[in-house]
Amino acid sequence: MSAIIMTVDDSRTIRGQVRRTLEQQTEENYSIVEMGDGLEALRWLSNCLRKDLPDVIVLDRNMPNMSGDECIRILKQDDDWKKIPVLFLTAQTDIRQLVLGLAKLGADDYLPKPFDFDELAARVKVMVRIKQAEDESRRLNKDLELSLIQQQKAFEELKTTKMRLAETEAAAKLTAVFEKFVPKEFIKRIAPDGLEFLKFGK
């Protein structure tokens, strides 16, 4: 299954390393989109159709114009973008502070710079699998919800049909009883449209 990977880094060298590493995973059929900073990435996403959104974003933390931290804060505010898993690339060495910071931001994973190419490929692969499984789960839930609505509608229509049949059957029985004891000419006179339309009282 194909996947779209967005790599966001102000370093052309890093972007090239990410691209080459992922393109070597030929069995995964990745399409790579390169962006130079967070602002450029958000502009691209804003003009992107939902079906063309990336499956994973590989995002550098320290960039000019817009940092990775600021970029992910905006990503997590959008209903569609927040479903895209983010892999942070960072030179930060304090692991405890890094993990706490990324958890607060909502990043899904991180790799320290300089990163191992095989580890990058492995983590992206796992994130793509999870994202596509979640997408499929949402699609199935939506189909199930639609099916339940259709079933409820069919049930209501069936109830209405049964009520109409019951009314018709009752009218037929009433007609049969009347015809036993009342002359047909009299029935036609008091209920020309049928006994089911007969009104009693004033």
Residue 36's domain comprises 2-135
Do 15 and 115 fall within a single domain? yes
Do 41 and 130 fall within a single domain? yes
Inside any domain, residue 142: no
Inside any domain, residue 113: yes
Question: Structural domain tally of the chain?
Answer: 2
Inside any domain, residue 126: yes
Do 155 and 87 fall within a single domain? no
Mean pLDDT of 39-46: 95
Residue finishing a domain among 83, 114, 135: 135
92-108 per-position pLDDT tens digit: 766 776 776 777 788 88
Inside any domain, residue 92: yes
45-54, 98-107, 133-142: least confidently modelled range: 98-107
Inside any domain, residue 141: no
Query: Against a cut of 0.75, is the pTM above it?
Result: no
Do 30 and 74 fall within a single domain? yes
H/E/C letters for each residue in 55-84?
Answer: CEEEEECCCCCCCHHHHHHHHCCCCCHHHC
Q: Residue 35 belongs to a domain with what CATH number?
A: 3.40.50.2300
Token readout for 168 is 């018709």
pLDDT band at 141; cut points 50, 70, 90: confident
Inside any domain, residue 158: yes
Residue finishing a domain among 109, 135, 161: 135
